[in-house]
Structure formats: structure tokens, C-alpha cells
Amino acid sequence: MKTTNRSILIGAAFLMATSAIGPGFLTQTTVFTEQLLASFGFVILMSIIIDIGAQMNIWRIIAVSEKRAQDIANDVLPGLGYVLAALVVAGGLAFNIGNIAGAGLGTNVLFGISPQLGAVLSGALAIGIFVYKEAGRLMDRFTQVLGFVMIALTIYVMFTAQPPVGEAAAKTFAPDTIDFLAIVTLVGGTVGGYITFAGGHRLIDAGLKGKSALPEVTKSSVYAIGVASIMRIILFLAVLGVVSQGFTLNEGNPPASVFQHAAGNVGYKIFGIVFWAAAITSVVGAAYTSVSFIRTFSPVLEKNNRYLTIGFITVSTLVFAFAGEPVSILVLVGSVNGLILPLALGVMLVAAHKSKIVGTYKHPIWMTVFGAVVVVAMAYMGFYTLIDGIPSLFE
């Protein structure tokens, strides 16, 4: 494999992985571990298998068709690509406001400044990446460095927490309880919404596409899930170690209390670094991917896609800085994110068997079946979450 290709593949993998590892990822993993204890290992294992199935399908079809998801959707059914793009942009903007808020919280822990000021400074840093002429390469390097930082620091906290690794390993394959809601939630948090497309679209932008690139694309898709999963497993063990020692986690900020119980004030500062890194890389990933869903709709959008990305981050930052998180709106708009994976994956599976889209490529039957199962499961949970969120608007 050429060095250039390897760099692109690793960059795409880390962009996707760090897009998944956001504030919600950290909180979600902590809460489920506290509830399920060592049996949460089984949930992680099942979600990894499903994540790989979903992502391999999507990345392979994007690569072989040499088109982004919205253009593939329009080829399957005219107009469907615009619907998909609208869902991605709405969900991406909603979650990006939360990511900006997370970056502000991280800087508050580290430096004691207000979350609003921290959010503005973090937003300015993210904008700076896209001001740079070689924004794609800088984005790749940025997400890789912070990805390694997050994993390394969390490993330190995991060791200080002294988790019962043997019990965790045993319960991963023989759990006391099986929580299907937790499995689907983890899948949504890893490859739901815009997240799985971050790396796939990055490969298209970098020119790595076509049937000849499929082996490399497939490896990169699995590698991306691997990076996100390593972070999930390490954090799971850290939380398990803390709760196994009898500590009660702070309901207001569960991940922070894990780091603090495990390593004292140093652990709390480490939490600040990890939380900020998780948030800021997710800001970059959400903005890049959301804009990638609309840039192909006109030459003007394509030409100015960097400015659109900067505008996306600016709006997210200003909404949090001046209005706080509009929770009632975020509940509804954010719930739409749960519908994006089944819709997009379903479209991809149909496209995989249309010769006008994929040419002579033959998509493996087992991938189609696997993908169809994910579509059904995620569609059910997505609609459940959306319907459950609507009443909160009127409370």
C-alpha cells in the first residue's frame, strides 16, 4: 500500500472514530456500565459486530459507486438524497451544539474559565482548521493526535481504577443480563446519524475510490470501529473498576466522577483533557460531514464548501454561547439522528444491487442480510426515540 493511501485510510478511520467519541459517547458508556456492571462487556461485543456490519456496507458502496451518500440516494429515488441531507444537517447541527457545549465544559475543568468562553475559543480553533488551505490533511492529523491522547490518558485512569478484568472477560461472553436497548443505543452512538459517513466521504474527497480500492476501504472501515471500540472498552473497564470499589457516581457528570475517584485531582484534570478532545474532534467531524451532504447539490456550494463548514461551526458556537442549549428543540431535532442510519443504510443496500450505480460490482449476500437486520432494529429504536421525544416539547 502506498504511504499516501495509508495516510488517507488512517485519517478517514480516525475522523469517523473521533466523531463517534464525543461527550455523549463518554456519558453513555459510563451510565450503562454503572447499570449493567461487567455484563456491559456483552453489550459492547454485540455492538461492535453490528457496527462493523453497518459500516462495511456503507463505506464499500460509497467507494465502489464513487459518490457520496446523498447522490446515491437520489439515484435510488429522485429527491431522497435531499431528504437524507436535510436529516443529516439538522441532526448534525443539533449534536454539534452539544459538542461545543462539551468543549466548553472541558476547558472549564482545565482552566476554570466559563463554559461559554471555552466554547467560543474551541469553536475558533475548529474554524482555524478549515481556514487552512490543506484543511483535509490538517483535519486528519488533528483527529489522529487527539484520538491517541484520549486513549492514552484513559488507559492510565483504567489502570489506577484496578478493574476486575477477569470478571469483565467472563461476563462479556456469559452476561447476567442482556439489554437490547443498550446494544441499539451503542450502535446509534457509534455509527448513527452522520458519524459513519465521516470517513466514507473523506475517502471520496481524497480520491480513494473504485473497485480496486475496496480491500483498503474495507480495512479502514473496520479499523475505524476498532479505534472507537478500544476507547469504549478502556472506559468501560475504568468505570467498572470505580463502581466495583463501592464508589457512587455523580449523576450530574458521571464520567468526571469516574476519573476523579480513580486518580484524584489529576484524574479530574485528565477528564477535562479527554472530554475536550472528544468534544472538539466531534465538532470537526460533524461540521465536515454535514456540509459534505449538501456540497454536491450545486457548483456554488461545492466551490464554497470550506466556508459552509466554517459557518456551520460558527452557528453551533453562537447558539450555545448566547442561548445555551435549547434542550426542548434538541430533543426533537436530535431524535431525528436515530432515523438517519436505517434510512441511509437501507438506501445503500438497495443501491448495492443496482448496476447503474455500482456497475459490475457484486455485493456479498451476507453483508446485505446483516445490513437489513441493522436497518430493522435501528428503525424501530429511531422511531421510538423520536415519538418519546415529542411530548417533552410541551412539558
How do the domains of the chain map onto residue ranges?
A: 3-394
Q: Do 47 and 257 touch, CB atoms closer than 8 A? A: no
Q: What is the pLDDT of residue 394?
A: 47
pLDDT at res. 313: 95
The pLDDT, as a whole number, for residue 231 is: 93
pLDDT of residue 4: 63
**pLDDT tens digit at each of 395 positions of the chain:** 566 678 888 888 898 998 888 888 888 899 899 999 999 999 999 989 888 988 999 999 999 999 999 999 999 999 999 999 998 888 888 888 888 988 998 999 999 999 899 999 999 999 998 988 777 788 888 889 999 999 999 999 999 999 999 999 999 999 998 887 788 778 877 887 788 899 999 998 888 888 888 999 999 999 999 999 999 999 999 999 999 999 988 887 889 999 999 999 999 999 999 999 999 999 999 999 999 999 999 999 999 998 999 999 999 999 888 876 544 444 444 455 667 788 889 999 999 999 999 989 999 999 999 899 888 887 877 676 556 554 544 45
- The pLDDT of residue 187 is 82
Is domain 3-394 in CATH 3.40.50.2000, yes or no? Answer: no
pLDDT given at position 212: 87
pTM score, whole prediction: 0.88
Task: Give the DSSP letter string of 342-364.
Answer: HHHHHHHHHHTT-HHHHTT----
pLDDT (0 to 100) of residue 338: 62
pLDDT at residue 88, rounded to an integer: 87
* pLDDT score, position 22: 85
